[in-house]
Amino acid sequence: MPMVLKYVRHFNLLTSFETAMGLKFKDKALLRQAFTHGSYVDLGMQNVNTVEATRSRVRIGHVFENVASLKRSRSMLLDGDMPVLGHAAGNNDLKLREVAEKHLSGDFKEEFHSRYLCPYERLEFLGDAVLGLLVASSAFLKLPNADEGFLHQTRVDIVNNNNLGKMAKAANFESLLLSAFDLAKLDEETKAKITADCFEALLGALYKDQGIVPCRALLGKLMDMHDAELRELCFLSTPELITEAKAYVEIDRAPIKQWSKYNQTRVLHRRFAQRTGVEIANTHLWLQAVTHASFQKPQIDDDEFIGHEPSYERIEFLGDAVLQVLSSEFLVDAFPYHQEHLLTQARSSLVKNTKLAIVARKAGYEEFIRLGNLVKQNGKLYMEDVLADVFEATLGAVYLENPGDLGKVRSILECMLFPRLTEAIRRRQWMNPRKVFTHYVTQWSRSSMRQITCQFKNIKVPDPANTSGILVPKTNGDGSDATKGKGKKTPVQDAHAVALYVNNFQVARAVGRTISAAQDAACKRALMLYGVRLHED
């Protein structure tokens, strides 16, 4: 009976919160899920007589000793098949579901929940990306003179757990949390982390239920409750966003028409749209999206056109935020029974520069990119990064022309990127070579009942002029690493080399642009030696 009363009270609190915030969820289960902590589910509310529920009840006294242990971890307990009790709310595509279920390693077992009692981690994963886009789009238009680095830092400063925790406290999120512990007894840092997670989960729930526009309205209201001055400085409502985006697009419309090469450029623009399928209505906006930072005087001809923004760097920042939301939404549907840790790993592995560069190159982006003469002559530019950046910049351009709707960008990704993600999931490409190698080593250790040790050792990189070529780095083969980072636009100079030892025997050596890239390449070679073939991109 106490549990029933607690549940009824929680339902009434959520209803009051929904009314106060001006929300109207179509699927009430999503709202409930946004405030359901994993410990409440594990305590036995769903499966009272299961092993995991019993174990959770025993552990409940120290579940909240540190933030990390607040995350649920039942994968080691779930050996074998379980009947499907239900699933988290989401639009499940059968094909994607089958693909994911058949090709997941044992390290990420499914967690089946009733949709009426499901922890918030999946919604938090989606809501984090939604929050990033809401802040990024506002900062992009509110701070027209800020470079990409400043925009990135602004977003980080606004969406950190401390700030989100304060906003959540102002809206009294603490009273809405369903958990197996008393939130009031936790230290402030841990409490802020949990309520910040609920904040992101709420945005994820609202996005799943109604789309991006209500999410922006909710964030504006919560920012107003916390700090009206911060909202005024860093946030745009949907009507304001549409107005500012329209003004931004109009800035270069008149100047470009005075350019001597305008008609010729319009022909190139139409050819780009026909070849890639990416339709950007405004030629000047398209030109900005394909202009590299090296395209500036004295490296270009005097009669070239440079708009009010000299390159794609700022608009690429916006496109990346759009891509994060739509790829997160896709992966939530592709992995309907798995929690945030797998979704995060899949996104970082599948939606990275090397993958985006392949998509852009196959679509024909490369011939349209504007580069400075010096860069073209010396060739010291990592084109994979440039292609990925231009791809994201074009997504940002499409979004600026349609700021109130993600539909057009989604349709582009459904044609160009998402089919590749489905195939990559089928091939286990969401696991990098290190993860795959670790998975196999773990399996081999279990089957042989013997511990297999693995370690990496850094080794000296020989002079690239060395004719032996054993460890000469490659910029576009095994070991290339083009993940996001602030140094991504610099030429390839230094390289890192590692040796992989298994049971103290050296089995592979490799070179990469970073330590992690070199380790991936070494693991890939070791897997080939052991007869495990990884699919190429």
Q: What is the pLDDT of residues 310-350, one digit of tens each?
A: 999 999 999 999 999 999 999 998 888 777 888 888 888 88
CA angle (527 as vertex; 525, 530 as ends), nearest 5: 115
CA dist., res. 423 & res. 535, Å (int):
10
Domain boundary among 236, 260, 285: 236
For 508, list phi and psi in degrees, rounded to 5. Answer: -160, 150
Q: Contact 120/198 with Cβ under 8 angstroms?
A: yes
Claim to verify: residue 115 and residue 135 sit in the same structural domain: yes
Query: Which pLDDT score, from 0 to 100, does residue 273 have?
Result: 96
Q: Tell me the backbone φ, ψ of residue 294, rounded to 5 degrees.
A: -75, -10
Question: In 3-state terms, what secondary structure has residue 79?
Answer: coil
**How far apart are the C-alpha atoms of 102 and 95, rounded to whole Å?**
11
- 91 shares a domain with 36: yes
Predicted confidence pLDDT, tens digits, the chain (537 residues): 566 777 788 889 999 999 999 999 999 999 999 999 888 775 544 444 444 444 444 444 333 333 343 343 333 323 333 333 233 333 434 554 554 444 444 444 455 455 556 789 999 999 999 999 999 999 999 999 999 999 999 999 999 999 999 999 999 999 999 888 888 888 888 999 999 999 999 999 999 999 999 999 999 999 999 989 989 988 999 999 999 999 999 999 999 999 999 999 999 999 999 999 999 999 999 999 999 999 998 888 888 999 999 999 999 999 999 999 999 999 998 888 777 888 888 888 888 888 999 999 999 999 999 999 888 777 667 788 999 999 999 999 999 999 988 999 999 999 999 998 888 877 777 778 898 899 899 989 999 999 999 999 999 876 554 433 333 333 333 444 444 444 444 444 457 899 999 999 999 999 988 898 899 999 999 999 998 887 766
Q: What is the pLDDT of residue 116?
A: 56
DSSP string, 287-319: HHHTB-TT--TTSS-TT----SSSSSHHHHHHH
pLDDT for residue 113: 54
Which residues are the active-site residues? 320, 392
* 398-411 pLDDT, tens digit each: 999 999 889 999 99
CATH number (domain holding residue 516): 3.30.160.20
Sign of the torsion angle spanned by Cα atoms 190, 195, 197, 200: negative
Domain presence at residue 22: yes
Q: Which amino acid is residue 34, in one-letter code?
A: A
Nearest C-alpha neighbor of 524 from the set 504, 506, 510: 510
pLDDT of residue 2: 65
Of 148, 136, 120, 100, the residue nearest 324 (C-alpha): 136
- Assess contact for 18 and 34: CB atoms under 8 A: no
The answer to whether residue 444 is domain-embedded is yes
536: in domain: no
Q: What is the pLDDT of residue 215?
A: 97
Domain match, 72 and 185 both: yes
pLDDT score at 379: 67
| CA separation for the pair 351, 343 (Å, rounded) | 11
Query: According to the model, what pLDDT value does residue 180 have?
Result: 80
Same domain assignment for residues 149 and 22: yes
How close are the terminal C-alpha atoms of the chain, in Å?
56
Any domain includes 245: no
Cα three-residue angle 148-150-153, rounded to 5 degrees: 110
CA separation for the pair 481, 264 (Å, rounded) = 36
- Structural domain of residue 327, as residue ranges? 251-426
Tell me what pLDDT residue 169 has.
92
Q: Which CATH number belongs to the domain containing residue 340 in this structure?
A: 1.10.1520.10
Number of domains forming the structure of the chain: 3
Rounded Cα distance between 377 and 371, Å, is 10
Distance between CA atoms of 171 and 395, rounded to whole angstroms? 34
Residue 149 resides in a domain: yes
Q: Are residues 467 and 382 part of one domain? A: no
Which structure tokens are listed for 345? 């790993």
pLDDT of residue 54: 47
- Residue 469 backbone class (left: φ over 0; alpha: ψ -120 to 50; beta: rest): left
